[in-house]
Structure 1
């Protein structure tokens, strides 16, 4: 039961870091 919560947290963290990289790239290379 706890395992899927950990999976969700990991996915959210990956998405957040990806969005962060995207925003960084857009700001600095636009």
Structure 2
């Protein structure tokens, strides 16, 4: 169970680290 939770957490971290900078760049017009 901890392994699955860790994997989900890692996926969420990757999604956040990819999505938020892209959204911010879009809002800045880059």
Shorter-chain TM range is 0.5 to 0.7
Q: What corresponds to 2:15 in structure 1?
A: 15
When the two chains are superposed, the root-mean-square deviation of aligned CA atoms in Å is 1.4
Gaps of 5+ in 2: none
Question: TM-score, normalised on structure 2?
Answer: 0.66
Gaps of 5+ in 1: none
Question: TM-score, normalised on structure 1?
Answer: 0.66
Cα offset for 1:20? 2.1
Q: How many equivalent pairs are there?
A: 30
